[in-house]
Structure 1
Amino acid sequence: MNYVLLLLGFGLLIKGADFFVTGSSNIARLLRVPPILIGLTIVAFGTSSPEATVSIIAALEGSSGVSLGNVIGSNIFNITLVVGLTAIITPLKVESETIRKEIPFALLASIVLLVLVSDVALQAMSANLLTRSDGFIFLLFFAVFLYYIFEVVRTSREKIMFEPKTLNDPWGKNIFFTVLGLGAIIFGGDLVVKNSTQIAFAYGMSETLVGLTIVAIGTSLPELVTSITAALKKQSEIALGNIVGSNIFNILFVLGASSVISPLSVSGRIYIDVILMIILTIVLLLFSRTRFTVGKVEGMFLVIAYVLYLIFIILRN
């Protein structure tokens, strides 16, 4: 029964994210919010709403391993498998200055995470924790990122075009889809946390491993679907921007909000995963700088990297 409820939860997360992104994007356009702002915020953050919901619910229920593992595992999944599969379908062009700035910001967020979880090494404390103070630091960085986005919008305003068809969409329908999607995300997230932790305990798995694998993959499916769809439509900048924006949102907002709600204890094993996330972000930055394209060969490298990582964490448990 736990497996059925877990699959149901994932289904609600994926479909809920789809409804939420569609409805909220249309509402934003009806309010004449610039499309560039919609792409950098609602699309990226909307596809990360499952991670946010699962991690915050896990924090409220005291499952810090699921909360942390979900964010780190999702980010590694995004950088490797999502970017890799998308690049194999069609090479990802990295032409926009916005994208080139977002990847270093994602790297900065990862390094900040490594510093804040190293209490024992850096401050000689008895245990590693993401405290409420750490959470506010994350949220402060997130506010800086939002400020950067609004600056991008302000300086690009002359290029902004609105879609007449979308502006004629009915308000009621879009509000309904937004609320329905949000409800599905919240209910689905609750099902995923409760049933994944029960399955973990039944098989002797750690919460961290479940967060890094089952939960991380399940909550990252919206990013995978969105990026592959964008690639098939030859909108590769949207694909890469969605992934990088989601990773920034995951670390700064999701972990920030989760640790403000309830301080998160940090497993010693998670350090290797954080370091790997930093290395993979650097690799993505290097790939994107190579003729400003992530090609098919580089995509295959990233997919293989994720398979090897998955084998490593399963054997490590």
Structure 2
Amino acid sequence: MTYLLFIIGLVLLIKGADFFVDGSSKIARGLQVPPLLVGLTIVAFGTSSPEATVSIIAALDGTAGVALGNVIGSNIFNITLVVGITALLNPLKVESETIRKEIPFTLLGSIVLLVVVADTFLQGFQADALTRSDGIILLLIFSIFLYYIFEVAKNSRGNTNDMEVRTEAPKWGKNILFTIGGLAAIIFGGELVVSSATEIAISFGMTETLVGLTIVAVGTSLPELITSITAALKKESDIALGNIVGSNIFNIFFVLGTASTISPLAFEGKLFVDLILMIILTFVLLVFSRTNYRVGKMEGLFLALVYIGYMIFIIIRN
């Protein structure tokens, strides 16, 4: 029964995110919001909502390993397998703004997270943790990011006249219903995933952190994978990469910021390896993106293989 509840929870998370993204994206486009901004905000927030729900519920339940492992595991999954598979299907073009600002902001977020959790090394505390004050810092930085993207939106509005002609009038009632219904499914599905995943972990002798890094991280990242692959096949690279980068920014600053503000999260020592790997992989993505302003098929293959190797490593480590 636990496995069935876990699968039902995942289905609700994925389909809920799908409805949320579909409804909110159409509302945004009806309001003449540029595609890259849609990717960085609405689509990124929608596809990150499973991680947000799972991590916040896990924080409330006192399962810090699931909350932290979910975010770090999801970000690694996004950078490696999501970018990798998407680039293999159709090489990703990268806008200069994404290279100069969004990806470096993701890298900054990963480094900030490393600094705020390294309490024993930097401040001489007895245990590493993501405290409430750390969470407030992350949320303040997130507010700066929101200010930046809304400035981008304001400056881009003058360039959307051609899109205005091509965009048909949105069905507001249907889109609002999709958005609210999707959000409800995400919240209920998240509750099912956390409770059932914790039970599965205990029954198999797995740690909460391992479950967060693997089963929960992959499950909650499926919306990013599906959304980015769909966008790549439609040759909308700006939405595909904007979704991935935006999701990682949301995961670090908003998801962990909110979760740790609600309830401080103890940081397990072995997670430092995963966090440092996340920083390295974000830097690798930046380097790949600067190569002819695209992530090609060879880079995509490399990233996908890195994820397979990472999965083998953490399973052996447990």
TM-score normalised to the size of structure 2?
Answer: 0.96
* Post-superposition offset of 1:27: 2.9
Corresponding residue of 1:249? 250
Change (3 A) 1:36 1:307: closer
Equivalent runs, 1:18-33 vs 2, <5 Å: 18-31=18-31, 33=33
Further displaced range: 44-53 or 165-174? 165-174
How much has 1:165 moved relative to structure 2?
7.3
Unaligned residue ranges in structure 2 (runs of 5+): none
Q: 2:138 maps to which residue? A: 138
Give the distance between the partners of 1:124 and 1:164, measured in 2 at CA: 60
SS at match of 2:19: helix
**Structure 1 12/66 Cα, relative in aligned 2: closer, same or farther at 3 Å?**
same
Alpha carbons of structure 1 residues 148 and 164: separation in structure 2 relative to 1, 3 Å: same
Does the 8 A contact of 1:130 with 1:266 survive in 2? yes
Are the equivalent residues in 2 in contact too, given 1:136–1:256 (CA < 8 A)?
yes
Equivalent residue, structure 1, for 2:54:
54
Preserved contact between residue 64 and residue 264 of structure 1 (Cα < 8 Å): yes
Contact 2:33 2:157 in 1 (8 A): no
Partner of 1:158: 158
Q: Which residue identity is paired with 2:245?
A: V
* Cα offsets for 1:238-297 (capped at 9, x unmatched): 211110110000000000000000000110110000000000001100100111111111
Q: Distance in 2 between matches of 1:310 and 1:207?
A: 16
Q: Which moved more, 1:28-37 or 1:280-289?
A: 28-37
In 2: Cα distance, 1:282 partner to 1:14 partner: 29
Describe the superposition over 1:123-182 as per-residue Cα deviations: whole angstroms up to 9, x where unpaired. Answer: 010111111100000001101111111121222222124456765233221221111101
Q: Distance in 1 between matches of 2:104 and 2:286?
A: 7
1:31, distance to aligned residue in structure 2 (A):
4.7
Shift of 1:33: 4.8
C-alpha distance in structure 2 between counterparts of 1:213 and 1:111, whole Å: 22
Q: Residue in 1 aligned with 2:16?
A: 16
The alignment-based identity, stated in percent, is 70
Structure 1 residues 163, 241: closer, same or farther in 2, change over 3 A? same
Deviation at 1:40, TM superposition (A): 2.1
What residue identity is the alignment partner of 1:205?
Answer: M
Deviates more, 1:38-47 or 1:178-187: 38-47
Supply the AA of the counterpart residue of 2:26. N
Larger deviation, residues 110-119 vs 168-177: 168-177
Distance 2:34 2:91 in 1: 27
Q: Matches of residues 33-182 of structure 1 in structure 2 within 5 Å?
A: 33=33, 35-161=35-161, 162-163=163-164, 168-182=169-183
Q: Which residue is 1:200 aligned to?
A: 201
Look up the SS of the partner of 1:256 in the other structure.
Answer: helix
Consecutive unaligned residues in structure 1, runs of 5 or more:
none
Cα shift readout 1:210-252 (whole Å, capped 9, x = no counterpart): 0000000000000000111111111122211110110000000
Residues in 2 aligned to 1:73 and 1:208: alpha-carbon distance in whole angstroms: 10
In the comparison of the two structures, how many residue pairs are matched?
317
Q: TM-score, normalised by structure 1?
A: 0.96
User: What is the distance in 1 between the residues matched to 2:171 and 2:304?
Assistant: 41
What SS is found at the alignment partner of 2:125? Answer: coil
Cα distance in 2 between the residues matched to 1:206 and 1:262:
20
Query: Which sits farther off after the overlay, 188-197 or 97-106?
Result: 97-106
Map Cα deviations across residues 41-92 of structure 1 (whole Å, 9 max, x no partner). Answer: 1011111010000000100111110000000000000000000001111111
Superposition pairs of residues 224-303 of structure 1, within 5 angstroms: 224-303=225-304
* Counterpart residue type for residue 282 of structure 1: F
CA contact (8 A) 2:59 2:260 kept: yes
Cα RMSD after superposing both structures: 1.5
Q: Distance in 2 between matches of 1:187 and 1:238?
A: 27
Residues 290/29 of structure 1: CA separation in 2 closer, same or farther (3 Å cut): closer
Give 3-state SS (helix, strand or coil) of 2:269's partner.
coil
| Distance in structure 2 (CA, Å) of the matches to 1:31 and 1:240 | 22
Q: Against the structure 1 CA distance between its residues 163 and 11, is the aligned structure 2 distance closer, same or farther, given a 3 Å change threshold?
A: farther
Residues 294/218 of structure 1: CA separation in 2 closer, same or farther (3 Å cut): same
**2:29 and 2:92 mapped to 1: Cα distance?**
27
